[in-house]
Structure 1
């Protein structure tokens, strides 16, 4: 009950802010939040009835809404959700992960309830797992859930197969995964895997997704790739030496958002991060250690929607003069 009440409070405050502060019309708000104009009207009325709107917007969300607006304007995003840290400290990773997961899970549930999305391309990561765990159960037998990278890791924690299967159980949809490793042992092995007709067919299916949902990976000992033992400490050091700050869908990039070609990146099986350009892509991240990774991917132009925690949002904005030029 508390979660639904908090969600109503957040949405009513957000629509009121967009209407009274940002000066958007209800039809503009409806398009941006992907809801009916009548629902926007009800949410604004709720904000008025509850006293969230006085001389300024009340309700504890005005700072989050300001962060969202600044990130959208700075990086040309179509949608941004900043999850409240509540009483969580800047280093309370588990609490921040849960907060971002709940916000992202609510958004994904909302998208599926609309039934405009019939296929989701799914990446990997602990934030992805938290988001899917927070999703509401939905009856969507028509939904296709497709892994966009190789689905096999050395450890099962936060891996693509696990995320796809979690979402399948929540929705009753059809799950598809690439039955090959996320990282091949060599470039030649990757090329061999991707020459298989079954893999090519699944990759072609993945490319047809209406939306891609991906975690934003950092380059440190706590990253998903390091914790699942996909890459070694030496390989992490080599990536950092090459200027890499993060990865998305198996592609590595620098702080300016430029793709960095590495031997490790050439071993990734599945879609390349560059293939996400121009598509609808939702990225998610939690924790300050993701600051450079998030800043780099926002500058890359490879994602147009993001969910992140408020500490991370402030850190990204504090480090970022507004300059982003896309991939190269």
Structure 2
């Protein structure tokens, strides 16, 4: 879209939405055909120049968003409505569509997008609507679980699906999710091919990820892929771990330093989430509420896309009788 097209689309949108003119009246005023006006309105919506939201004071999603903003002032929440009595699979489908739309609205030419692979991002990648955008880079944030997963396409297909959707470039990260020895990781991190990926991660303008939890209805892939053995899981429990982001683990208060397995993890430091303008976390499912609450306590995101059932559970006091808000 050229600057002239964008300016004309905005002018048409203002006349239509702000002044209430019909497409015929706009066509006469601007000396355009009615089909041209309709195309410009469609263009304005598709490219994010216009965002349509229904503000219903009785609607649960908007009320939940307001409560989330009050509890977490740093957060930009988007709560997705779901049919009463629907399954968690249906929630995930709707949340994935909303997340794909949100990503589309924040992307700009020349940006770098960091992606943490997993079940949720796989669903988001399948909900994308094709759109070409210049000079986009999509970089994998954490290594693949094992050689079998890397070859199966579970990891690579999702990353390349994002890049292909926008005619961008995919930067894969073909290292283990967890190294056997922290020294091996430190040596690998000095390799130029690995540094290429790490440098792109550090320059990301947008991050897209979920929280991992073994308690989810569909446990996060890392917990069922064989990347963690029984001793690893025991150690994580002993250290108070409640979730992970990009296979980097954190505790109930959102802290992540000093967790032994993180020294062997391939994911980025979770401090990165505070440095990126759009750190978008996509979460759906009641089994992820504890992990999500902890991530919010640590301010490990600035944008959240979730469903109304999960949001309501997040706002409900936990088993200790209080909800964890982020520290001031």
Which interval holds the TM-score relative to the shorter structure? 0.7 to 0.9
- Name 1:3's counterpart in structure 2: none
Instruction: State which of 252, 268, 271 in structure 1 corresponds to 2:268.
Output: 271
Q: Deviations over 1:63-105 (max 9, x none)?
A: 101111111221123421112221344xx33222212111111
- Name 2:63's counterpart in structure 1: 66
Q: Deviations over 1:93-120 (max 9, x none)?
A: 32222121111112112233xx356211
The answer as to 2:223 corresponding to 1:226 is: yes
Instruction: State which of 298, 311, 314 in structure 2 corresponds to 1:313.
Output: 311
Answer whether contact 1:145 1:167 (CA < 8 A) is retained.
yes
Runs of 5+ in structure 1 lacking a partner?
1-14, 16-33, 48-52
Answer whether contact 2:68 2:75 (CA < 8 A) is retained.
no
The verdict on how the C-alpha distance between 1:260 and 1:239 changes in structure 2, with shifts beyond 3 A counting, is farther
Counterpart CA distance in 1 for 2:312 and 2:267 is 33
- Name 2:123's counterpart in structure 1: 130
Residue 141 of structure 1, CA deviation: 4.2
- Name 1:155's counterpart in structure 2: 149
TM-score (norm 2): 0.76
The answer as to 2:66 corresponding to 1:75 is: no
TM-score (norm 1): 0.76
Answer whether contact 1:152 1:179 (CA < 8 A) is retained.
no
Instruction: State which of 139, 142, 145 in structure 1 corresponds to 2:138.
Output: 145
Counterpart CA distance in 2 for 1:285 and 1:159 is 19
Runs of 4+ in structure 1 deviating by more than 4 angstroms, as ranges, are: 156-160
Counterpart CA distance in 2 for 1:200 and 1:309 is 37
- Name 2:170's counterpart in structure 1: 175
- Name 2:239's counterpart in structure 1: 242
Counterpart CA distance in 1 for 2:212 and 2:110 is 25
- Name 1:288's counterpart in structure 2: 286
Residue 240 of structure 1, CA deviation: 2.1
Residue 260 of structure 1, CA deviation: 4.8
Answer whether contact 2:64 2:312 (CA < 8 A) is retained.
yes
Counterpart CA distance in 2 for 1:132 and 1:196 is 30
- Name 2:252's counterpart in structure 1: 255
Counterpart CA distance in 1 for 2:153 and 2:225 is 8
Counterpart CA distance in 1 for 2:160 and 2:109 is 21
How many residue pairs match? The answer is 274
The answer as to 2:99 corresponding to 1:101 is: no
Runs of 5+ in structure 2 lacking a partner?
1-16, 18-46
Residue 57 of structure 1, CA deviation: 4.0
- Name 1:25's counterpart in structure 2: none
Counterpart CA distance in 2 for 1:252 and 1:131 is 23
- Name 2:192's counterpart in structure 1: 197
The verdict on how the C-alpha distance between 1:145 and 1:195 changes in structure 2, with shifts beyond 3 A counting, is same
Counterpart CA distance in 2 for 1:292 and 1:299 is 11
Counterpart CA distance in 1 for 2:135 and 2:122 is 22
Counterpart CA distance in 2 for 1:233 and 1:104 is 34
Larger Rg: 2
Query: Structure 1 stretch 294-303 or stretch 269-278: which is displaced more?
Result: 269-278
The verdict on how the C-alpha distance between 1:237 and 1:95 changes in structure 2, with shifts beyond 3 A counting, is farther
Answer whether contact 1:250 1:273 (CA < 8 A) is retained.
no
